[in-house]
């Protein structure tokens, strides 16, 4: 029979070896049966030492279990199976993999082979480094969710988080409080000391929020000099001392700003999700109303009406 393939076995081997992304042949049990390609040294290290080892020799147990599960899924499907996964230094054991100073991200394209290799069902696993793409995705998500000046959640993300917590409140009646506050006489700061000083006040406010609030709290910049803090699993009574501590710490931090010639304070209003609320906007409005009570009462205070 005439062989129509113009390539010799040596040539086919050279082509596989020249592939930029690494190609792994992995058995059902997770044994590395062969490795080809991966010559793009910007993204990959020499993996030839892996041949003959099992993924459980190379990776921490939880990560190795995940790899074996994905191999078995691809064998069961019989069609192309695509996954995304990260690898950090803490995931790897037993072999030198070069410097893993940051988590690397890969897309794995896994295809079952139609014949056994070394007596086992096996797959071809092509691993493509997508770390740059994942980092771009993170940056784009940050731009869509985080306020550029303060680094806190922006209005769009805040409303999303509020809606999610309101759903939880409707289902489980979990107490949740919201603090709405703004910076007293902020226009005066901008008018007398310039917008750079105003920006510094905003950044300082955000820094104090990150430092003084609990890890479960979600501070956000609603817009201008107005801020909102979501306090999950917290009644209004429990939220009040947290809000007062924040007010005190903010006043202390503002005194240390060399660009401001007078003290800067905040006024705030506390509100709690109520069974009569139809949406998260209702609690925001009550918090806003309490804020204006604080303004009318002389500023530099937190109001938490029942």
Phi/psi for 81 (5° steps) reads -120, 120
Cα separation, 30 vs 95, in Å, equals 16
One DSSP character per residue, 247-292 reads: HHHHHHHHHT-TT-SS---EEEEEEE--TT-SSHHHHHHHHHHHHH
Model pLDDT, residue 95:
47
pLDDT surpasses 60 at 94: no
Say whether both 106 and 153 belong to one domain: no
Model pLDDT, residue 30:
96
Say whether both 38 and 75 belong to one domain: yes
Model pLDDT, residue 134:
87
Say whether both 237 and 261 belong to one domain: yes
- Return mean pLDDT, the chain: 90
Instruction: For residue 185, tell me if it sits in a domain.
Output: yes
Containing structural domain, residue 75: 9-137
Model pLDDT, residue 40:
64
pTM passes above 0.85 = no
Say whether both 17 and 133 belong to one domain: yes
Cα separation, 142 vs 140, in Å, equals 5
Please identify every residue annotated as catalytic: 225
Instruction: For residue 4, tell me if it sits in a domain.
Output: no
User: How far are the Cα atoms of 32, 54, 81, 118 from residue 36, in angstroms, in the given order?
Assistant: 11, 17, 19, 17
Model pLDDT, residue 1:
45
Q: Count, in order, helices (H) and strands (E) of the chain.
A: 9, 10
Last residue of a domain, one of 137, 172, 193: 137
Query: Tens digit of pLDDT for each residue in 147-202?
Result: 999 999 999 999 999 999 999 999 999 999 999 999 999 999 999 889 999 999 99
Distance from the Cα of residue 249 to its chain's centroid: 28
Query: Tens digit of pLDDT for each residue in 250-306?
Result: 999 998 887 676 789 999 999 999 999 999 999 999 999 999 999 999 999 999 998
């Amino acid at each position: 029979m005439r062989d129509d393939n113009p390539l010799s076995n040596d040539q086919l081997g050279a082509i596989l070896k020249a592939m930029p992304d690494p190609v792994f042949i992995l058995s059902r049990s997770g044994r590395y049966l062969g490795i080809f390609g991966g010559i793009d040294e910007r993204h990959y290290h020499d993996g030839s030492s892996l041949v003959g080892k099992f993924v459980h020799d190379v990776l921490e147990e939880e990560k190795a279990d995940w790899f074996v599960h994905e191999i078995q899924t691809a064998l069961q499907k019989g069609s192309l199976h695509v996954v995304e996964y990260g690898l950090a230094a803490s995931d790897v054991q037993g072999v030198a993999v070069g410097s893993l100073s940051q988590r690397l991200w890969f897309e794995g394209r896994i295809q079952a082979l139609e014949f056994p290799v070394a007596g086992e069902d096996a797959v071809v696993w092509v691993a493509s480094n997508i770390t740059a793409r994942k980092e771009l995705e993170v940056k784009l998500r940050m731009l869509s969710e985080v306020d550029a000046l303060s680094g806190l959640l922006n209005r769009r993300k805040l409303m999303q988080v509020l809606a999610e917590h309101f759903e939880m409140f409707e289902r489980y009646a979990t107490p949740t409080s919201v603090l709405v506050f703004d910076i007293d006489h902020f226009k005066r700061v901008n008018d007398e000391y310039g917008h750079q000083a105003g920006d510094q006040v905003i950044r300082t406010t955000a820094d104090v929020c990150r430092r003084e609030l609990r890890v479960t709290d979600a501070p956000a910049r609603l817009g201008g000099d107005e801020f909102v803090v979501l306090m999950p699993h917290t009644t209004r009574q429990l939220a009040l001392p947290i809000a007062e501590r924040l007010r005190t710490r903010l006043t202390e931090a503002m005194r240390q700003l060399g660009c401001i010639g007078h003290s800067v304070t905040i006024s705030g209003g506390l509100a709690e999700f109520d069974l009569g609320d139809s949406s998260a906007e209702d609690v925001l409005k009550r918090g806003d109303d309490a804020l204006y009570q604080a303004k009318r009462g002389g500023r530099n205070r937190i109001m938490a009406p029942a």
